Amino acid sequence: MIKTIHLTVNGRAVELGVDQRESLTDTLRNRLGLTSVKKGCEAGECGACTVLLDGKSVNSCIYLSVWADGHSILTVEGLTKENGELHPIQQAFVEEAAIQCGFCTPGLVMTGVEIANSGKTYTREELRELISGHLCRCTGYENILNALERVVGRKENGTL
């Protein structure tokens, strides 16, 4: 059955008719064309479909679109400024070559944005834990952690 939902997607209010059986991943990709949201495991394990729901990272593949009714969603498409400038997390991923095949990247960037939005800094070990909901089969995570450290890093002794 089709249900009407209201969302704020990347800052824009949208009214959508969605099938109540569909995942938020499918709605964002197929109805709104936001293909940065990747379909990986589709079981909440790999993190490729991660979006921010009211500022919190969630696996959109195991979240029904009807549950998101009334809420706010941010995807990678909503990060870039009008002048084309990248978000600091995206820029850091570029500078540290934290991308190989790129499939895990949008999800990891969104978790990175969530971490940056916390306004705090983190040790490498803490960052490892914070990205533990993402699988990357190319990089070995080292460059991803290097990129995150550029923006939100903190040394063990508290200095940057």
Partner 1 sequence: MYDIKETYRAHSIEEALALLEGHPGAVLVNGGTDVMIRMKEGKLTDAVLISIMDVPEIIGISLRENGDIAIGAGTCFQDIYHNEVIRGAVPALAHAANQVGSPQIRHVATIGGNLCNGAVSADSVPILLAMNAELELAGAQGTRRVALTQFHTGPGKTVLQKGRELLTTIVIPKEEYAGRYGSYIKFGQRNAMEIATLGAAVCLKLQANKTRLEDIRIAFSVAGPTPLRCAKTEAALKGMALTGDMVKALRQGVIQEVQPRDSWRASKQLRLQLVKELGERALRQAAEEAGGTIHD
Residues that bind partner 1 (CB under 8 A): 1, 3, 19-23, 26, 42-45, 47, 50, 53, 56-59, 62-64, 66-67, 111, 129-130, 132-134
* Residue 88 or 133 having the CB closest to partner 1: 133
- Closest separation between CB of residue 100 and partner 1, Å? 21
In sequence order, the β-bridge partners of residue 18 are 3
Provide the sign of the torsion angle of the four alpha carbons 65, 67, 70, 76, taken in this order: negative
- Closest separation between CB of residue 23 and partner 1, Å? 7
- Closest separation between CB of residue 82 and partner 1, Å? 29
Whose CA is closest to 49, among 103, 86, 6, 92? Answer: 103
* Residue 85 or 125 having the CB closest to partner 1: 125
- Closest separation between CB of residue 22 and partner 1, Å? 6
CA separation for the pair 45, 93 (Å, rounded): 22
CA separation for the pair 82, 78 (Å, rounded): 10
CA separation for the pair 8, 160 (Å, rounded): 35
Q: Which helix (H) or strand (E) holds 126?
A: helix 124-130
* Residue 17 or 84 having the CB closest to partner 1: 17
Structure tokens, 56: 């919190």
* Residue 67 or 103 having the CB closest to partner 1: 67
- Closest separation between CB of residue 32 and partner 1, Å? 17
* Residue 129 or 142 having the CB closest to partner 1: 129
